[in-house]
A and B are shown apart, each in its own frame.
Chain A
């Protein structure tokens, strides 16, 4: 145990040092960054953050990213909850094959889907909308959501369903007023995973968005190539993209461990 504690401490330091460097870059001016090397910022400034908050290219990109992440999460949960319930409660024709087939979609490299996605969404007029990116991200968030929720739902005894019936509750009442509230931890964790895989993705988001719906991750890569390395603003944008993740993880912190076991440790 003692030795593992040291591994943990060393690893946490390894995690934190690059993050510290990002944050310290975010509060330096560009002259400071390329000037003399210093561990601590000489003259901390919030100018980089001010630039992002005042420049529509930056804050609109944040809005665009949040838009497709939210749409994706809503779609994923809306379709995955009934499916996970069906998988956890019933046997039906082809259930095992279907479950496995869903998971194989998680194994498809997004790069494979670039062209067909681009053509498909152009053809139906969705190209350059948040909905296109949200639907494309369903490729991996939906199978994952079904997988996680099925594990949690299976752990809820089926007697509960029957008791509700005996008590005279209708199925919708049982499902929405009893079953889902019991599983709100599971839903929170699924939300965390959908968010995690949709917010962080670049390749599909870049391919399916043009000028109107450019997401934050794309604006960041453009800044690197275009205006000759504006490191300070780039670092500040980086810090801001980390914040939504911190919020989400804070809300599900109590369910995180069970969530990572995908409900099926034992």
Chain B
């Protein structure tokens, strides 16, 4: 189908507005960042060219490295939970029941709540003095307090992210499942395939496309997480839940270290591109073989 498309360079007029607006909202700012990253800016009239000094400094900064490790562990953890859980939830959604629209709306709900409100909900829910969860766990005899114990802070943030984003995976996977034609299942039934085989040999390959999108979206977005830990724990206790965006924001807006913050930004962006590209190209390579 796609190869039949006629060639016509006048189609550029159609994409021109998008190019202009993205140039304005992305290219100009990005160029500014790159420009800052190679300068030492004392004030706006006194600046020196310092080459890759800030890049070297950032990559050797132990606080950057520990934030980076926390970030990778966090993204890995939530992907390992949210992807399988999302698929399982999607498989449980009835296809053509009167309840289906309501379940879908309910699932979509967390995606539409402002991110700081998500954090507020979890704050109210998990606080050991007024929260249902916090009070409940403490009543079981476990001294739970996400504001003072780093492990509890981590578990709470992961639980919050699972609450917030598993729906996205589930809705994507459900969209993929509904597109599998009935005869596929009938053929499998005739061949006597069990439930696990049906899942592994029919459903999973058919879900590939949507799962790639789900993993990419969750990978990028979890790597950029800022608002939820900022509101819930403020990055604490100590630095236990300070992820890359939060460290960067403190640097850029809090301390106004323009040069180092800019170098940090470039490295940060390149890492996300690298991870997405690695994932994407490894999936596509598997396709070819």
Q: Give the interface of A toward B (CB within 8 A).
A: 1, 4-9, 11-12, 14-19, 21-22, 25, 33-34, 37, 39, 75, 78-80, 82-83, 85-87, 89-93, 95, 98, 102, 104-117, 119-120, 135-136, 138-139, 142-143, 146, 154, 158, 195-196, 199-203, 207, 216-217, 220-221, 224, 231, 234-235, 237-238, 241-242, 244-246, 248-250, 253-254, 256-262, 264-266
Which residue of B10, B85, B91, B176 contacts A1 across the interface (Cβ within 8 Å)? Answer: B91
Collect the chain A residues with CB atoms within 8 Å of residue B224's CB. 109-111
Collect the chain B residues with CB atoms within 8 Å of residue A259's CB. 175
Name B14's closest neighbour in chain A (CB-CB): A86
Q: In the complex the two chains form, is A4's CB within 8 Å of B32's CB?
A: no
14 sampled A-B residue pairs with Cβ under 8 A:
A8-B93, A12-B106, A82-B14, A86-B13, A89-B11, A91-B11, A112-B266, A112-B268, A114-B249, A115-B252, A199-B114, A202-B226, A220-B116, A260-B172
Name B228's closest neighbour in chain A (CB-CB): A202
Q: In the complex the two chains form, is A200's CB within 8 Å of B25's CB?
A: no
Name A7's closest neighbour in chain B (CB-CB): B88
The proximity string for B residues 51-92 relative to A, scoring 1 for CB distances below 8 Å and 0 otherwise, is: 000000000000000000000000000000000010011011
Q: In the complex the two chains form, is B89's CB within 8 Å of A8's CB?
A: yes
Q: In the assembly, what is the distance between CA of A17 and CA of B4, in Å?
A: 52
Known: A200-B112, A217-B116. 11 other contacts (CB 8 A): A22-B124, A39-B132, A95-B11, A111-B249, A116-B33, A146-B18, A154-B1, A200-B111, A207-B253, A231-B130, A242-B113
For window 179-232 of B, CB contacts with A under 8 Å fall at 179, 195, 209-210, 213, 220, 223-224, 226-227, 231
Q: In the assembly, what is the distance between CA of A224 and CA of B21, in Å?
A: 36
Collect the chain B residues with CB atoms within 8 Å of residue A15's CB. 106-107, 109-110, 163, 167
Interface of A is mostly: helix
Collect the chain A residues with CB atoms within 8 Å of residue B7's CB. 90-92
Which residue of B9, B109, B195, B273 contacts A242 across the interface (Cβ within 8 Å)? Answer: B109
Q: In the assembly, what is the distance between CA of A33 and CA of B112, in Å?
A: 26
For window 238-263 of B, CB contacts with A under 8 Å fall at 244-246, 248-249, 252-253, 258, 261-262
Which residue of A110, A143, A201, A249 contacts B105 across the interface (Cβ within 8 Å)? Answer: A249
Q: In the complex the two chains form, is A107's CB within 8 Å of B124's CB?
A: no
Is B30 an interface residue when CB atoms closer than 8 A count as contact?
Answer: yes
Q: In the complex the two chains form, is A253's CB within 8 Å of B101's CB?
A: yes
| Given A108-B30, A202-B227, CB of A242 within 8 Å of CB of B117 | yes
Collect the chain B residues with CB atoms within 8 Å of residue A138's CB. 21-22, 25
Collect the chain A residues with CB atoms within 8 Å of residue B122's CB. 18
Q: In the assembly, what is the distance between CA of A114 and CA of B268, in Å?
A: 14
Q: In the complex the two chains form, is A114's CB within 8 Å of B269's CB?
A: no
Collect the chain A residues with CB atoms within 8 Å of residue B265's CB. 109, 111-112
| Given A108-B269, A242-B117, A249-B108, CB of A90 within 8 Å of CB of B29 | no
Q: In the complex the two chains form, is A242's CB within 8 Å of B30's CB?
A: no
> In the complex, what's the smallest C-beta–C-beta distance from B208 to chain A, in angstroms?
10
Which residue of B121, B245, B258 contacts A115 across the interface (Cβ within 8 Å)? Answer: B258
Is B129 an interface residue when CB atoms closer than 8 A count as contact?
Answer: yes
Q: In the complex the two chains form, is B268's CB within 8 Å of A17's CB?
A: no
Collect the chain B residues with CB atoms within 8 Å of residue A21's CB. 121, 124-125, 131-132
> In the complex, what's the smallest C-beta–C-beta distance from B168 to chain A, in angstroms?
8
Q: In the complex the two chains form, is A265's CB within 8 Å of B121's CB?
A: no
Collect the chain B residues with CB atoms within 8 Å of residue A105's CB. 22, 26
| Given A15-B110, A89-B5, A109-B244, CB of A261 within 8 Å of CB of B179 | yes
Name A109's closest neighbour in chain B (CB-CB): B224
| Given A107-B269, A109-B268, CB of A265 within 8 Å of CB of B22 | no
Q: In the assembly, what is the distance between CA of A117 and CA of B31, in Å?
A: 11
Q: In the assembly, what is the distance between CA of A33 and CA of B179, in Å?
A: 47
Collect the chain A residues with CB atoms within 8 Å of residue B133's CB. 18
Which residue of B9, B121, B195, B213 contacts A22 across the interface (Cβ within 8 Å)? Answer: B121
Is B104 an interface residue when CB atoms closer than 8 A count as contact?
Answer: yes
Q: In the complex the two chains form, is A264's CB within 8 Å of B209's CB?
A: yes
